[in-house]
Amino acid sequence: MVRRGILVGGLVLALTLPLLAAAFGLDYVVGIATRILIFALAGVSLNLILGYGGMVSFGHAAFFGTGAYVVAILSDHAAAGIPLFTWPLTVYGSDMAIIAWPAAMAVCAVLALIIGAICLRTGGLYFIMITLAFAQMLYFFFVALEPYGGDDGLSLVGPSRAWPLDLADDRQFYYLILSLLLFILYLMRRLIASRFGLVLRGIRENERRMQAMGYATYRYKLAAFVISGAVAGLAGALIANHTEFVSPSFLDWRRSGEILVVVIMGGVGTLYGPVAGAIAYLMLEEVLSRWTEHWMIVLGPLLVLIVLYAKQGLWGTLEKMSTKR
Amino acid sequence: MSAPLLRITGLRKAFGAVVACDGIDLDVAEGEVHALIGPNDAGKTTLIGQLAGEIRPDSGRIVFRGRDVTPLPAHTRAARGLARSFQITSVLPGMSALDNVALAVQAHAGHSFRFWRPAGDETAVREPAHAALDRVGLALRATVPAAMLAHGEQRQLEIAMALASQPRLVLLDEPTAGIGAEESARMVTLLESLRGDVTMLLVEHDMDAVFALAERITVLVSGRVIASDTPEAIRGDTEVRCAYLGEEDA
């Protein structure tokens, strides 16, 4: 009951937030909420492989940042009117959301297929290190990418065009992202309950057993990795629209760590955990960083407490408490 | 006589200087309950590992259902009808008993790249899973997470998982290891009830269980087969008595 109450209450709050913000003259809150939703989406994508597949990726920012770059680069070419490349066929840039966002997802899916195909040959600690290594390689790739700003990053002329919406309008952008997050959460829920989801959870529980039962576990893990990469790419496309600026720091290992923290704080392997984690993490950042720039000093111990005393994270603990009743 | 279900020829595996399997030849006929016995370090676990596809032999051939499966990975062998239970209980601890078995059924009922329909609604998977749980006597424990089951029940669950895949051959690696006398007796009754339905290759230390179940016994000592015969003949074999059964009597 508690769980349901919080879900319904949260949804109502999320739906009415821009109106409330306007009523209280706190319009900047909409921007913060938008950022929270985008990080929640990134967390949801990581949670699929981390929480349900048992794959601890420490390089998820690679997909997040690449997704952001795809939108920025396509928009850059569209603004300049220069084709992206002319061989073997001419491809122009685009500042339309309907083209750029799926393109970001597609590029990240292909990237995840390549990175995953290699990383998933290992497991455990090695998997953590090799995903980190790939993310760092991509980080330095974008640092070296001088035509697109290199180290300095790349500014967007404006957010993507998404007729009939105007994404420069904070409220419309917020509602679009809220709908996208809800839609992805719905898809995740279906996925986790499906045959594929059951196999994925089985692999997390005992991979050797699953192989003995006849599952080619590598293929299922790789498929989950690709889906996860694509969704992280979508989150990246959204953050590029939100900040209207991208830089290699989007792919930094600290960003990967942040996404991990969002998932762990919220609850690994719970559907709504990453959303709860994103809210908690970014609110803490918002409040504490006003108080001191060394806000990590407070976050660190808090994270330790959560890991020690509420292993299932905020949402996981809540779910556990409500099932006990 | 038709070709055996499983034929092992010249199987050899060394770990450094230690030769675990030293040219093993073994046939398992369709329908029989075949027990594999031997002292510790005889190479039984290594042999099972090679049959299951987890350990690659140095040389030798494993022919299952008339096809050479030696180079195939574990999951492909499982897909061809080779199921197994583990010496140390191996289930999916966080999932319900029913989900454990349902996954075993699902592995042999089409591919699992299905992302939309809830797996819990698939009666074609859930019904055989319920039937397998019922067969091992866990029908009332279907919704309990595997980790919460008693140790003996987890062993029963493993048998249900092996059965649910409708295997041609089940490798049972010490099914009564680590459980009490009463549960052990129940396990023997359960395996007894499966005789004729499924071919079993059983590794077991409990001689009462072996002589109650097996129609054929192979004795492994230091990586070699020293005898392979009926239980009566094995009981009378002096070499076997010296090498192995003598220890039991002492």
Q: What is the pLDDT of residue B250?
A: 38
Q: What is the pLDDT of residue B249?
A: 47
Q: Where are the domains of chain B?
A: 1-81+168-250, 92-166
Inter-chain CB proximity A194 and B114 less than 8 Å: yes
For the CA atoms of B92, B62, A122, A260, the dihedral, rounded to the nearest 10 degrees, stands at -20
Partner B, chain A 189-218, Cβ-Cβ below 8 Å: 190-191, 193-199, 201-202, 204-206, 208-217
Query: What's the gap in Å between the CA of A207 and the closest CA on chain B?
Result: 9
Q: What is the pLDDT of residue A48?
A: 98
* The model's pTM: 0.92
Average pLDDT over residues A298-311: 87
Query: What's the gap in Å between the CA of B249 and the closest CA on chain A?
Result: 36
Residues 6+ apart with CB under 8 A from A246: A65, A68, A69, A71, A72, A153, A154, A156, A240
Total number of domains in chain A? 1
Query: What's the gap in Å between the CA of A176 and the closest CA on chain B?
Result: 24
Architecture in CATH for domain B1-81+168-250 = 3-Layer(aba) Sandwich (3.40)
When scoring B82, B84, B95, B112 by the number of chain A Cβ atoms within 10 A, the one with the most, hence best to mutate, is: B112
Q: Rounded mean pLDDT of chain A?
A: 94
Domain limits for position A51:
2-324
B-chain residues near A204 (CB < 8 A): 94
Q: Are A204 and A53 in contact (CB under 8 A)?
A: yes
What percent of chain B has pLDDT above 90?
75
How many interface pairs between A and B have CB atoms less than 8 angstroms apart?
A: 99
A-chain residues near B84 (CB < 8 A): 212
Write the ipTM: 0.89
Inter-chain CB proximity B119 and A194 less than 8 Å: yes
d(CA B179, CA B197): 25
Say yes or no to pLDDT of B226 above 70: yes
Among chain A residues, the shortest Cα distance to B160 is held by A213
A-chain residues near B86 (CB < 8 A): 209, 212
Residues 6+ apart with CB under 8 A from A304: none
> Would you state the structure tokens that stand for residue A228, as one six-digit string?
């996860």
- Three-state SS sequence of B182-223: HHHHHHHHHHHHHCCCCEEEEECCCHHHHHHHCCEEEEEECC
A33-63, pLDDT tens digit by residue? 999 999 999 999 999 999 999 999 999 999 9
- How would you class A305 by CB atoms within 10 Å of its CB: exposed for 0-12, middle for 13-18, buried for 19 or more? exposed
